[in-house]
Structure 1
Amino acid sequence: MDTPKSQTKEKPSYLAKKRDRFLAMWKHPIYRKILWFNGLLVSLVLLGTFGYMLLEGWSFFDSLYMTIITLATIGYGETHPLGDSGRLYTMLLILFGSGVMVYSITGFITSLLEGDIRKALKKMTIERAISELNQHIIICGNSQTGKYAIDELKKTKQKFVVIDNDPARLEKIDSPQILCLQGDATDESVLISAGVERATGLITTLHHDADNLFVVLTARGLNPNIRIIAKAVEESSLKKLKQVGADSVVMPNIIGGLRMVSEMVRPSVVTFLDMMLGMSNQTIRVEELQIPSGSPVIGKTLADLHILHEPDVSLVAILPASGGAHQFNPPAQTQLIALDTLILIGDASRIANLNKRLGL
């Protein structure tokens, strides 16, 4: 498949990455606070050192040593005999310098004990990991619907980011491997922080249809090639969501009603479908693998690739690149061409291995 233009941007250089990380750190109040405390201490030591050098004519090292023992109130004694100006300067350094030092150290320890530094470091780590993602999926809203989408993406080992405005809902995601971003998904800057310009898909499951509509509109403007799936509660929202750029709209109420009827009239089929939709402990899935342009499997037959004999995997159909009807139960001599899509059913890990083996 041709790579979208939004996903073929030139990778930033090493220096550009370092610059961006520094700027990102500077945006965090906790880092500015730490820099402020450290800056006060360094400025105080340098001020004391240069003061002794100017007033007493000492060397830099002797002046630095005198400044440190004075601020630390250790009382080792004077490095060299002090004149009246030097003693007055030492008294001022003790009175004001000790207060500044206590303020800086206390502020740093308080931030450490309150967990501000730990939280800031965690946030920085997550933002760095998100910035390195490419061709991932964005989940907007850890709602009841979003929770099942997150579980399924986790089971199938997809790369994804979760956005939610409520920190309490994000804390319910107990997996440290899941990247979470706190913020309003309707905000363009938040979507950019989640890497929407590099993402292949977005699922919005916010509680209100108007919010989902705004997310779709914003995401489509930022990445025209992204695939967007939106949740809708009201039937009137379905057409609007598609008009602003949603590729597909899912209505939980309609699906719920159809499911109840299916449970009544075809329970065995429902059990089988549940197994494939991840509603059981088994990891049986229906997956699709598209043959990209330039793939080494182009021109080869299913028999050549041994796809029909893959353990725990069945090839159900092929969707031709021409967009015609699905070819169910394709024969072994079927020749693959670019942009053909294979529809497979079987163990998720086995399908992933097949994908890797074919280099798709």
Structure 2
Amino acid sequence: MRKTTLKLLKTLLTKIVTSGLILIIALFIYGIVGSYFIMGLNPIDSIYYSIITMATVGYGDYIPTTGIQKIFATTLALGGVALLAYVFNIILTNVQERMSEYSKGARKMKKIENMDDYYILCGFGRVGKVVFEELSKRNQNVIIYEKNEEICEDIEENESVVVLNKDATQSELISQLAGEKCRSVIISTGDDVANLFIVLAIRESNPDAWIVSRASKEENYSRLRKAGADKIVSPELIGGKDLYLESTRPHILKITIRHGVDEIYDEFKIISKHGCTLENIQYHLPGIETPLTRKINTMNIEDGKQFWNHLDKNPDQKDAIENLYKIVSNVHSHIISGPDRATFQKLVDELEKKFEIIGINLTKKEIVKLTKKNIK
């Protein structure tokens, strides 16, 4: 309702200004014609008399004497005052609105400056919304670029979310924002040409930026790669959630570790303490490359506590997990997302004090080689 009202007001404002200018021109013509035929002035003096009367200057060099002349002069003066005041008020209102928009933009930029770090999301369509939901779940700061004003009106802004109603392909600001404080630029528009242009614009100014781009057509993968995209994703194939996970790749850590079931909650407390999200757990069967994967997707310590209490109350399920741990010889990997590499280092250092860490970011083949030793 609000966006419809704003659109109607803007359309109405344009029509009002246009109509006001037409009426001023009509009144000016009326003044010239009346001055020539009623006041008996020549064309030049008619223009002069019309202007000074409409502006209520009235130098007194031409004084109406007859009744018809007085009526003409009065209508011309009143009409001029009313119309000029009307149009001036409309123009002033328009200027105030523009100043308000500028002030709003300044507040947005101040909010961005106060963010420690953030993600830039270009495009808030079907895929962009899914990516935004994943970012929001992890309490990430997000700057959204969306050129559709109606869509922008529906996005709720807060201290962690800034919406810029701009076309990212025509914005010089995006190259500045994609600097050191930007964790990742996620380009999720459905137009591959626009995505390519955005990648080029950002990469030209930010050689170290991590850029993940959506590609609707497979033949555009190589073009986007050459333009400077670090990852190209087809949401039609893997979905918006994986687009988010690819964007966080510099901040995704795979820790292969060994511990028993009784230490699950202690490990999760450490992960949660450092503000990291446990995305999933991979259980490595000895000699088998593809692990058993269980999605977790939480950073809330209460989730870990609830799971541990559930195992306490359900011994059969706890026995099942213990049997799984025996099969994999307590070896499993955690896929963890976090704010930055420094935090990951602190996390690893603390985990090493309590558990046996087998490796960091090991490949499947490396893990298979290690687990084969457990086959009797």
TM-score, with structure 1 as normaliser = 0.45
TM-score, with structure 2 as normaliser = 0.44
Tell me which structure has the larger Cα radius of gyration.
Answer: 2
